[in-house]
Chain A
């Protein structure tokens, strides 16, 4: 009897202590989400004083009938997959390389994270200048110095080369995040494990597969999941670099702000949320971390 009563009062205290954070979460996350879902069923005018028209699933049906949406979706999956795979693999490779003592290691490490900490807008301008058709250094080197091509390619005007460049940009910009996270966990691996593997005659690949990979797996999965979510919703980098790669973030922005169709834009974000949740739940189940 006594124990039961104690448990009850603990619960009350826990509720009181949790209340402020629960309240904030409800206010900042749940309320906008519910409001967004509500807007998605309406044809919403920009002026709040004008009445919104209830359209039921009209917005959802419009989107699911739009070929451009599926094109964007496919492109976004491809972009996310390539950029996450590339930036994680490259980050891991550099982290392994850095996981040993050498001179100027600290300076080199700080230089590596430069692309991650610099604001997007300055990096985008640097890339645009590098690939500029008239005075870009890439075309200057390719055409005038090394004579790799007769006519300078229009890098950001061709959909395929634009896509390759935005993926390369994402890999280059975001690999330091994987690098920092993975280097931290690499440094925790006991070197005696490698020595033991060496005595057993393990090759470099075997050492990586048997010792390194299992040890870094929890961090690796987190890095991949987070980066996938962030890149799936990418807008700024791609929008600023080119208008030839219509990923979902751009499709959503144009619907909301170029066409001022707030209801449709809200329903796109609900669909994206559902897709992304399914992908994450499935991937977490398969990897079991």
Chain B
């Protein structure tokens, strides 16, 4: 009796354990396929938009069910790593271009499926600048279908600059002259809000100055080429410019706050500053400049939809259908308008979309909106050389060596040559 009881309890426990460990049925008894969609829109209003899109998709495709996995941005990459190593990566994922490279390196992306979806949605309508960010190293495939993006440059307040007789800054010297003129440490006024934090923001900010001086991290063959006279020049310039920014490690909060509260007339920031500018009114007073020395360099990033590898045919088909659905111009427009001003269209059919153009925030910036959209084609990023998007740049960015370098020379006041040498050594370790 006891033995029998023990066997029953044991069997039940084992069954419970196995169910807990298993991934659940993907294909239901009624022939429906369930796929997961991981994205970073956790806020209530954004979720509402995505719920609506999912609902619309499920109505059009009654045999496919979408299960959403919203994950906060801060823990997004960590979650991808843990899900991937458990073999439970969602079928469709929203992912930034940098992390897409990391995923591609580990063969977590089904690039064939992505390419088919991209072609089905009309590859030609996407901005070249956006497409080149998601191109693979051989330049033939893509790590994701771009859905929205943002660009970063120098924002300035026209009235403040005019007070001291300045016009829009056109090159490095102009930026430095304005920054110097406005700095008055005793009264806690500074010339430019610049990222100096040991975090991704500093790498992004500095990359614009480096790339505008033709200094990249890798050469055209993909070899490390970071310790160059051009890179040193850019670092020296950034270090000097950082004298005219707020002391200490400046992250997005400090940069945005000081621009909005009038501590500085210029700030290096992404388009996500625009919603705050709109809230404060006076949208005509803001201008957008691009750092320029030997060439122009806008930093930008795209959010792309990617399809994970190792899927069964039905799941893959469902994942492609859902990706293509979200990449339709009218759906992409809704996606972009979840954060109007901040998120930018990556497809010209969205820019031309009536709903997009009718949005009050987009409308209020008038010409500036067009100027920003056009700047997408001037995007340059570290690791993208001659149209080749080197995979190893994902690891270099992930390692955080560049942010450490920027923080050490600006806030820590350390020597450029020595620090650059340390960075070079550390990156060698990472990529070898």
Chain A residues packing against B (C-beta within 8 Å): 12-13, 15-16, 19-20, 23, 27, 44-50, 132-135, 152, 154, 156-157, 243, 254, 256-260, 262
Contacts and interface: CB of A to CB of B under 8 A. Distances in A.
B14 to A, nearest CB: 8
B10 A19 contact: yes
A227 B74 CA distance: 27
A23 to B, nearest CB: 5
A132 B254 contact: yes
Contacts of B86: 48
Contacts of B254: 132-134
A262 B82 CA distance: 10
A242 B84 CA distance: 29
Contacts of A48: 84-87
Nearest to B5: A16
Given A19-B9, A20-B13, A132-B254, A157 B2 contact: no
Contacts, number: 86
Contact of A47 (B13, B77, B106, B258): B106
Given A16-B5, A134-B188, A259 B249 contact: no
A157 B106 contact: no
Interface string B175-211: 0000000000000100000000011000000000000
Given A47-B84, A134-B254, 15 more contacts: A16-B2, A16-B5, A23-B10, A46-B85, A47-B106, A47-B107, A49-B107, A134-B246, A134-B248, A156-B249, A256-B81, A260-B81, A260-B102, A260-B398, A262-B81
A121 B398 CA distance: 23
Nearest to B86: A48
B344 interface: no
Contacts of B29: none
A258 B399 contact: yes
Nearest to A19: B9
A23 B107 CA distance: 36
B108 A157 contact: no
Contacts of A12: 2
8 contacts: A19-B13, A46-B85, A47-B108, A48-B85, A49-B309, A132-B254, A156-B249, A157-B248
B165 interface: no
A152 B247 CA distance: 9
A136 to B, nearest CB: 10
Contacts of B87: 48-49
Most buried by B among A13, A50, A258: A258
Nearest to B14: A23
A259 B188 contact: no
Contacts of B77: 257
Contacts of B6: 15-16, 19
Contact of A44 (B17, B85, B198): B85
Contacts of B78: 257
Contacts of B263: 134
B419 to A, nearest CB: 15
Contacts of B310: 49
Contact of A133 (B102, B107, B246, B309): B246
Given A12-B2, A20-B9, A257-B77, A154 B248 contact: yes
A23 B400 contact: no
A67 B258 CA distance: 39
A21 to B, nearest CB: 11
Nearest to A27: B17
B374 interface: no
A159 B300 CA distance: 32
Nearest to A12: B2
Given A134-B254, A258-B398, A258-B399, A46 B84 contact: yes
B81 A257 contact: yes
B48 interface: no
B411 A259 contact: no
B43 to A, nearest CB: 16
Nearest to B185: A151
B106 A243 contact: no
Nearest to B263: A134
Most buried by A among B87, B106, B199: B106
B430 interface: yes
A19 B16 CA distance: 14
Contacts of B257: 134-135
B430 A259 contact: yes
B184 to A, nearest CB: 14
Contacts of B248: 133-134, 154, 156-157
Nearest to B9: A19
Contact of B400 (A20, A27, A157, A258): A258
B409 to A, nearest CB: 13
A154 B198 CA distance: 14
